[in-house]
A and B are shown apart, each in its own frame.
Chain A
């Protein structure tokens, strides 16, 4: 549990996070990583160095001071990429591989679904769809989608 931060964070001219720990050692290019990016994104965040070693564990983002939290949040936002599908406009065919054109929380896009096995069931009702290049698209609640999206999705489940 970290109530008071025993480390300092800053951003350098290269846009990288710089970490200064209690030992006074300055480490550049540290990366915040969510331990449970989908199930509980705000709990359990680790700051790791470039070699992948954990420097500090943050139980909850709220535990951090505002300034620190903003730095971490901005960095997470700039690297995290799990577009959430809001609506499925169209699919090129019901046989895979097929091109899906979707509306996500990050704008409209299309991707190639290689096979039905690329649609992974997370804890219901969430689904995770990985495209040909390994990008993960999340459907948080498949029953909350609109009717036509649900019907399209249903053909692949």
Chain B
């Protein structure tokens, strides 16, 4: 929102490096009149709420002398000069941000805004703090360094604030409604096929022309053969043969050309669709974890699957038909005018009227059909809701209620459909009626002209033949608008994915580490998720081969640290270093090859056990797979399965227990022989007996690797060299188990609380369940 223009000199009282700026146009004149000589506005913010939370605009300006504010309603300017003890703070609650100016003992002013202004508010505070510091101490601040927008990589005038993901121009782009012009972006995918597209176009031209020949031939057939026969002349069989051959030839030509055209264009559009799908999926795979966190799986699947298909159908069917229709109408017009301009005029006159009428009805139908689509989505969402939760439905004996819910959604579906069908059933008869009326006009004028001997019967017949063809096409042409809109919306949704630049970008100048030792260092790491700060100021150094345990309550930031180390997200402050190199300067794939990850819920892909173990190293030899399975204590249970290593697992595959799946995922991590190992609650979802088995497997895995383990059950971390205790995103204690116990601090309390519960297995299970529900709430 602030929009500083570059300035070369810094006048007195202004922090060097901060440039002046232009105020918003509605406030500029007023605000500038408030400024005294030598006073300059440094940052501003337009607020959109008043103190009673009613929508009203206001302005806050930070100058090099004071802070100024006014509202639209009273137009009174209030001011506060810089002095000791002033602070400006912001916080937000349910979509409303508050900015408070405080001094040591009271609240001076409070402003409210909707969160759209949050970035401006943060910038305002930044400028305020800088100016206050400068005014009080006189120490100028270092000039801000050049920054890039993480999304479009442009050099920005002002640095982005933490929590802000993209520059203003990026964020405004995304929120425009889809326009038909989006369709032209498909050209990027059509370009490789431009030769074939041109051929398709020429064939369309040819086949359309060929279909227009038969009505033309009816004219001489009528005038030179049939009418003279009625007047007593014998039929000239040579002439008849000639015309009929012409008709047959034109039909066959139209058939051949039409076939070639449809085939070529279908081929091309199918390829464009496939390219689009592949490109989108490939791009999707490169996006950060953050992106997937905010998207529903079903939505992404729909975009890649059905949207690309819709675009595909649009190109191969609707666009082609439309082009053909336009060509046909153009050519027909030329032919009609060349035969008889007057009759042509009369024939074409009703055309726009009919087209307009059809469009009117269509428009009404379109909104109806859109509604049907949405209601249909509602019906499926009831299914999507209940089927995964079937166990809960059955357990609480709510089958009747769910059936009722489904019936209600269906009833609504029926109701909407009934309403649409009322108009829809009228539609085709209406088009027919309109066509007939149009023909009637042509008949009328034609007969009148024939009676005046201005045209022949043949000409009239030809006109009628032509015109009935293209009235029929009007209906499909009128549908084009909605097809285009739908395809444009689909294209936009696809390009939304394609335009999204990963928030975990590949380095521009990658550094390669030939040998990785496994020393990890976190330096003042901070991470924000949206506006919420998750971790702050975390500094940890992990030596090669050391095992670290991360301990803390749910929401203390353990998983965040792991996600940051894996580079699923990028830090917002500070840096993470591997062997002294910032991980952001390493190529992502190369970096992640060094990490073995064992998750709480092991994910098995559909395939054989051997394939699942070799997921990180598809070319692994069978001996390697077996060795990894042995080390993970998975070998024996795999042999007990009917097909051994060739047993199918994953979705639709063999059912394995939690512990078995976990051991397969441990084998998977072992096989790639990573330098760094991350165990994220690897043993939380299994009972203690299974845990012991997994622990044994893990011992093999951990040996000689830098290991970072998260566990709720503190007993599983007793082997760790060091434990790091986290609370609310900060490191509060570090040391091994004995040291921390001796300190009797946070860890001691956590351990005591758990030890009380570990008397029986039941209690332990309950504890874990509690914790999980806690996590689920996060």
Given contacts A80-B94, A97-B176, A135-B114, list 4 more A-B pairs with CB under 8 A.
A78-B52, A81-B53, A83-B55, A107-B54
- Chain B nearest Cβ from A46, distance in angstroms: 15
Q: Nearest residue in B to A92 (C-beta to C-beta)?
A: B177
- Chain B nearest Cβ from A152, distance in angstroms: 11
A14–B107 touching, CB < 8 Å: yes
Does B51 have its Cβ within 8 Å of any Cβ on chain A?
yes
Does A150 have its Cβ within 8 Å of any Cβ on chain B?
no
Q: Nearest residue in A to B94 (C-beta to C-beta)?
A: A81
B489–A95 touching, CB < 8 Å: yes
B96–A79 touching, CB < 8 Å: yes
Chain B contacts for A80, CB-based, 8 A:
53, 94
A104–B115 touching, CB < 8 Å: no
Does A157 have its Cβ within 8 Å of any Cβ on chain B?
yes
Does A155 have its Cβ within 8 Å of any Cβ on chain B?
yes
Q: Name A1-43 residues within 8 Å CB distance of B.
A: 13-15
Chain B contacts for A114, CB-based, 8 A:
175
Does A148 have its Cβ within 8 Å of any Cβ on chain B?
no
Q: What is the bound-complex CA distance between A155 and B107, given in angstroms?
A: 46
Does A70 have its Cβ within 8 Å of any Cβ on chain B?
no
Does B245 have its Cβ within 8 Å of any Cβ on chain A?
no
Q: What is the bound-complex CA distance between A93 and B177, given in angstroms?
A: 7
Chain B contacts for A96, CB-based, 8 A:
177
Q: What is the bound-complex CA distance between A106 and B48, given in angstroms?
A: 11
A97–B94 touching, CB < 8 Å: no
B96–A135 touching, CB < 8 Å: yes
Q: What is the bound-complex CA distance between A14 and B107, given in angstroms?
A: 4
A108–B55 touching, CB < 8 Å: yes
Q: Which of A79, A106, A154 sits near B93, CB closer than 8 Å?
A: A79
A106–B55 touching, CB < 8 Å: yes
Q: What is the bound-complex CA distance between A107 and B105, given in angstroms?
A: 34
Q: What is the bound-complex CA distance between A79 and B51, given in angstroms?
A: 10
Does B524 have its Cβ within 8 Å of any Cβ on chain A?
no
Q: Mark B94-119, 1 if CB is under 8 A from A, else 0.
A: 11100010100111001000111010
Chain A contacts for B115, CB-based, 8 A:
133-135
B175–A109 touching, CB < 8 Å: no
Q: Which of A78, A104, A112, A116 sits near B374, CB closer than 8 Å?
A: A116
Chain A contacts for B176, CB-based, 8 A:
97
- With A14-B102, A81-B53 as given contacts, are A155 and B116 in contact (CB-CB < 8 Å)? no
A132–B116 touching, CB < 8 Å: yes
A134–B95 touching, CB < 8 Å: yes
A157–B374 touching, CB < 8 Å: yes
Q: What is the bound-complex CA distance between A135 and B118, given in angstroms?
A: 13
Chain B contacts for A81, CB-based, 8 A:
49, 53, 94-96
- Chain B nearest Cβ from A100, distance in angstroms: 12
Does B505 have its Cβ within 8 Å of any Cβ on chain A?
no
Q: Mark A107-129, 1 if CB is under 8 A from B, else 0.
A: 11100101010000000000000
Q: What is the bound-complex CA distance between A112 and B116, given in angstroms?
A: 11
Q: What is the bound-complex CA distance between A98 and B485, given in angstroms?
A: 15
A95–B102 touching, CB < 8 Å: no
Does B367 have its Cβ within 8 Å of any Cβ on chain A?
yes
Q: What is the bound-complex CA distance between A81 and B96, given in angstroms?
A: 7
Chain A contacts for B485, CB-based, 8 A:
95
Q: Name B174-196 residues within 8 Å CB distance of A.
A: 174-178
Chain B contacts for A142, CB-based, 8 A:
none
B55–A132 touching, CB < 8 Å: no
A107–B55 touching, CB < 8 Å: yes
Q: Mark B74-104, 1 if CB is under 8 A from A, else 0.
A: 0000000000000000000111100010100
A13–B116 touching, CB < 8 Å: no
Chain A contacts for B489, CB-based, 8 A:
95
Does B56 have its Cβ within 8 Å of any Cβ on chain A?
yes
Q: What is the bound-complex CA distance between A13 and B106, given in angstroms?
A: 5
- Chain A nearest Cβ from B71, distance in angstroms: 12
Q: Considering only CB atoms and an 8 Å cut-off, how many residues of chain A contact the other chain?
A: 32
Q: What is the bound-complex CA distance between A132 and B115, given in angstroms?
A: 9
- Chain B nearest Cβ from A151, distance in angstroms: 10
Lowest 5 CB-CB distances: which A-B pairs, in order? A107-B55, A13-B106, A135-B95, A133-B115, A93-B177
Q: What is the bound-complex CA distance between A15 and B106, given in angstroms?
A: 8
Q: What is the bound-complex CA distance between A104 and B54, given in angstroms?
A: 9
Q: Which of B48, B51, B371 sits near A109, CB closer than 8 Å?
A: B48
B116–A133 touching, CB < 8 Å: yes
A109–B55 touching, CB < 8 Å: yes
- Chain A nearest Cβ from B51, distance in angstroms: 7
Does B146 have its Cβ within 8 Å of any Cβ on chain A?
no
Q: What is the bound-complex CA distance between A83 and B48, given in angstroms?
A: 13
Q: Nearest residue in A to B110 (C-beta to C-beta)?
A: A15
- Chain A nearest Cβ from B655, distance in angstroms: 34
- With A107-B55, A132-B116, A136-B94 as given contacts, are A14 and B177 in contact (CB-CB < 8 Å)? no
Chain B contacts for A108, CB-based, 8 A:
55
Q: Nearest residue in B to A130 (C-beta to C-beta)?
A: B95
Does B370 have its Cβ within 8 Å of any Cβ on chain A?
yes
Q: What is the bound-complex CA distance between A13 and B53, given in angstroms?
A: 21
Q: Which of A13, A83, A98 sits near B105, CB closer than 8 Å?
A: A13
- Chain A nearest Cβ from B48, distance in angstroms: 7
Chain A contacts for B94, CB-based, 8 A:
79-81, 134-136
- Chain A nearest Cβ from B26, distance in angstroms: 15
Chain B contacts for A79, CB-based, 8 A:
93-94, 96
Chain A contacts for B374, CB-based, 8 A:
116, 157
Q: What is the bound-complex CA distance between A80 and B52, given in angstroms?
A: 10
Q: List 11 A-B contacts (CB under 8 A).
A: A14-B102, A15-B110, A78-B52, A80-B94, A95-B177, A95-B485, A96-B177, A97-B175, A135-B96, A135-B114, A136-B95
Q: What is the bound-complex CA distance between A77 and B94, given in angstroms?
A: 13
Q: What is the bound-complex CA distance between A114 and B175, given in angstroms?
A: 8
B178–A95 touching, CB < 8 Å: yes
Chain A contacts for B55, CB-based, 8 A:
83, 104, 106-109
Task: Tell which of A80, A92, A107, A154 has the most Cβ of chain B within 10 Å.
Answer: A107
- Chain B nearest Cβ from A139, distance in angstroms: 17
- Chain A nearest Cβ from B371, distance in angstroms: 8
- Chain B nearest Cβ from A47, distance in angstroms: 15
Q: What is the bound-complex CA distance between A79 and B110, given in angstroms?
A: 12
- Chain A nearest Cβ from B529, distance in angstroms: 14
Q: What is the bound-complex CA distance between A133 and B100, given in angstroms?
A: 21
- With A106-B55, A134-B95 as given contacts, are A112 and B110 in contact (CB-CB < 8 Å)? no
Chain A contacts for B106, CB-based, 8 A:
13-14
- Chain A nearest Cβ from B530, distance in angstroms: 9
